[in-house]
Amino acid sequence: MTTQEYKEMVDSALAEYFASAEELPQKGLADAMRYSLLAGGKRIRPMLVLEFCRIAGGDVEASLPVACAIEMLHTYSLIHDDLPCMDNDDLRRGQPTNHKLFGECTATLAGDALQAEAFGTILRSSLPAERRAACAEHLANAVGLDGMCGGQFLDMIGEGKQLTEAELNEINSRKTGALLTAACLMGVAAAGGSREQEEAAAKYGASIGAAFQIRDDMLDVLSTEQELGKPIGSDSQEHKNTYMALLGKERCESMVEKLTEQAKTALCRAFEDTDFLYALADSMAQRRN
């Protein structure tokens, strides 16, 4: 499949979730959840689930709930990132952030509910029980103390301090890389893939995750508000620790290129059909938003 075909497949499936809440008294919460879930985005994480499932010999259709689940989890993280107590952002993908439309309390609950529904969506899927459990475990590992939430905490306590490159790597491997790595592992797990395939998927995910964050830091300086869908320059204005501030444009470009090549090399021995994932890694390294 192409990236567009995968995106349409995921968007269509996501549109069916929480659509039956019209008659419920908690409809307002479902509206807030759907607002951010269906607000666009590249759907990179679901694509990784589906493609790794495919090349590991699995059933792509059967893994679609797992792909939707990781997008729910990712959406929860974006809603909470934008809250006044976190990044206090007004725009996300060119649209008002969730709390700007629904209020802080509802936005917080929408994120909480999406996190719970992510695990429920995996566990209610038609995959064999051991594969469902493996997918849920990978997702839990990526989000908790040693994953995304731990990374967010380290990022928060690092504000106002001059961090080293090693400290930045420690933060971003959890904050950004963990969920991308989980997407790759969940795809292999949904297919019942081998240990060798899991190890290759983890290396690919970690490498593109690191490259993604460095590119993100670059875009906050080099992109435009129209391209990025949110204000640029906020990292510098808020004196955040970023790869651009620490290392500069040329070093960042070199690191993104090196990490992208590492990601592609990681796949060579475990998988045969890697064209899609090679192209995806390249496109992520060159993205403008």
Would strands 95-96 and 91-92 be described as parallel, antiparallel, or unpaired? antiparallel
Total domains in the fold of the chain = 1
pLDDT reported for residue 239: 67
Tell me which residue range forms the domain holding 200. 3-285
pLDDT reported for residue 289: 85
Torsion of CA 286, 68, 56, 264, to 10 degrees: 10
pLDDT reported for residue 93: 87
pLDDT reported for residue 48: 98
pLDDT reported for residue 227: 63
CA distance 106 to 118: 18
pLDDT reported for residue 267: 97
- Distances from the Cα of 241 to the Cαs of 58, 234, 288, in angstroms? 40, 11, 21
36, 78 Cβ separation under 8 angstroms: yes
- The tokens for 243 are 């790869």
CA distance 185 to 33: 26
pLDDT reported for residue 222: 86
pLDDT reported for residue 288: 87
CATH of the domain at 24: 1.10.600.10
pLDDT reported for residue 39: 95
pLDDT (tens place) for every residue of the chain, 289 residues total: 899 999 999 999 999 999 999 889 999 999 999 999 999 999 999 999 999 999 999 999 999 999 999 999 999 999 999 999 999 999 998 899 999 999 999 999 999 999 999 999 999 999 999 999 999 999 999 999 999 999 999 999 998 899 999 999 999 999 999 999 999 999 999 999 999 999 999 999 999 999 999 999 999 888 766 666 656 656 655 668 899 999 999 999 999 999 999 999 999 999 999 999 999 999 999 998 8
pLDDT reported for residue 232: 61
pLDDT reported for residue 120: 98
pLDDT reported for residue 207: 98
pLDDT reported for residue 238: 63
How many angstroms separate the first and last alpha carbons of the chain? 23
Torsion of CA 46, 49, 50, 56, to 10 degrees: 170
User: What is the value of pTM for the model shown?
Assistant: 0.94
